[in-house]
Structure 1
Amino acid sequence: MVDIQKRNLFRRKSELIINNLMPWVDDKQQFLDNCTQCKSCITSCPENIIVKGDGGFPVIDFSLGECTFCGKCAESCQEDIFVATTQQAWHKKAVISHACLAFENVYCRSCGESCPEEALSFQIGINAVPEINLDKCNGCGACFSPCPTSAISIEENR
């Protein structure tokens, strides 16, 4: 008999891995099938944001910093996992939830101040909610860590 709770636990772990994939990983199933968990991408990342995740698979942890899209993770991998680094790194963008302090009329612009692409802007006024220019946002995660309320996530946006 199949234990549904165990199957759902695996499904949640798989979703966590897939939601935090490295740049230039376009085929999620190919990644899960071919990644040998050798850690070459982890050791080659100069930003140290690639960590060992569930099941030993490498994942991005934006709480440790931002991705500079240097391509070293893809260059160091010997497996058929990554697309060419000349292509767009990924289709991730920043998303701001209602946990943002601006929704509570609290002044905070830490996300905008940390964005190297200047993709976050604020309307005139002290407690303006940040707006994301999706054309400028590259999903690097620079805005993630500075947010004091964890209101920002980096998610697929195709």
Structure 2
Amino acid sequence: MSPSGKPPRAVDIVRRGLLTRPWRSAVEAVRPPWSPQESQFTQACTRCGRCVEACPGGILQRGDGGYPAADFRHGGCTFCYACAGACPEGLFLPRDGRAWDIVATVTAGCLALQAVECRRCQESCADGAIIFRPVAGGLWQPQLNRSACSGCGGCVAGCPVSAIKMEHSHGRSLAGM
């Protein structure tokens, strides 16, 4: 019963989806490291799941449509290339370049930005891309060195309030964070 004494209204998930669908379409999934561009990836990927099974860190999950997607809430990518080795389609790019074009971004929900002492993202960042600098008032706030960020996502899993998001280095938001 609600405070008014009436039974709570059931949520129609289908109708609610009509409201959330446009928001979701603007967010892209993070494909496995060394994946080709999205259109090429979804055209060639058979959704067999072998890359998901091969991921030792468990960050690759089956995403929308059964395509593999990175979910950094499970941890960071170690760039081991096991996903590429497991792909029967030979879909992955050579390991010689950058694994993907994504970087971390600190959102307004960050505890340090709310004047609460927390440096979990810095502790989780093996690349040293997140550092804390003092600002007026004696507070320390995170600063991200985008060029040092490998896009591994370790800081996403380390953040206790989910205030770290991953985005393409050119600014588009990504899902699974």
* Among 53, 56, 70, the residue aligned to 1:46: 56
Displacement of 1:19: 2.8
- From the CA coordinates, give the structure whose radius of gyration is larger: 2
Cα distance in 1, alignment partners of residues 88 and 21 from structure 2: 30
Give TM-score scaled by structure 1 length.
0.86
What one-letter code is carried by the residue in structure 1 that aligns with 2:96? T
What one-letter code is carried by the residue in structure 1 that aligns with 2:91? I
In structure 2, the residue matched to 1:133 is 145
Write the deviation string for residues 3-35 of structure 1: whole angstroms up to 9, x where unpaired.
Answer: xx87x949936x55x432111113110111111
What one-letter code is carried by the residue in structure 2 that aligns with 1:103? L
Question: Is the counterpart of residue 27 in structure 1 residue 37 in structure 2?
Answer: yes
Question: Is the counterpart of residue 88 in structure 1 residue 105 in structure 2?
Answer: no
Displacement of 1:51: 0.7
Give TM-score scaled by structure 2 length.
0.77
In 2, are the aligned partners of 1:26 and 1:90 still within 8 Å (CA)? Answer: no
**SS, match of residue 129 in structure 1:** strand
- Percent sequence identity is 38
Cα distance in 1, alignment partners of residues 99 and 49 from structure 2: 20
* C-alpha distance 113-11 of structure 1, shift in aligned 2 (>3 A): closer
Q: Aligned-pair RMSD on alpha carbons?
A: 2.2
* C-alpha distance 39-148 of structure 1, shift in aligned 2 (>3 A): same
In 1, are the aligned partners of 2:81 and 2:95 still within 8 Å (CA)? Answer: yes
How many residues of Structure 1 are paired with residues of Structure 2 in the alignment?
151
Displacement of 1:134: 1.2
